[in-house]
Amino acid sequence: MLTADSLAVRFWDAATGKLKRSTREHISTNLQWQLVPRFSDDGRFLLIPGAGVRVIDTASGDLLATMRPLPDRQAAVISPDGHYLGTPWAEEDLVYVVQTADGQELLSPKEFAAKYGWKNDPSKVKLP
């Protein structure tokens, strides 16, 4: 069984009523009909709309991907570990948010790659 509120998605054992797992997926409290979380037809995935659509595996509670619209008809699908697959100019609108000892830092994909030796691998982006 699954419940969701503005703070988390929670997975419960239907037989015992005990909490099995909780994710920190934020769900908008301003739920209009189009922003209501929805299950896939087979119940395997929970789609949480907001500034994009987060895809959650209902069996594990894991975030599988975030589908994100971007300006100028661009879009990207981002894996939980930061790899992305996007339309031709999507990279121009993406940033990595890095937590440092001095606070948060925003870096373009090129800056992030140069500073941290990161290489984006679009093949690691999997949609169910």
Structure tokens at 66: 């975030």
Return the domain boundaries, the chain: 1-57, 62-128
List the pLDDT tens digit at each of the 128 positions of the chain. Answer: 666 666 667 777 767 777 777 776 555 555 444 567 788 888 888 888 877 888 988 888 888 999 999 999 899 999 999 999 999 999 999 999 999 999 999 999 999 999 999 999 999 998 87
pLDDT for 58: 84
CA dist 99 to 26, 105, 106, Å? 19, 6, 9
Q: What angle do CA 11, 16, 17 make, to 5 degrees?
A: 45
Alpha helices in 1-123 (DSSP H): 109-116
Q: How high is the pLDDT of residue 14?
A: 66
Q: Which residue has the tokens 């929805």?
A: 38
Give pLDDT, residue 33: 44
The CA distance from 22 to 73, in Å, is 34
Burial class (CB in 10 A: 0-12, 13-18, 19+), 17: exposed
Would you state the structure tokens that stand for residue 31, as one six-digit string?
């739920």
Helix H, strand E, coil C: the string for 39-50 is ECCCCCEEEEEC
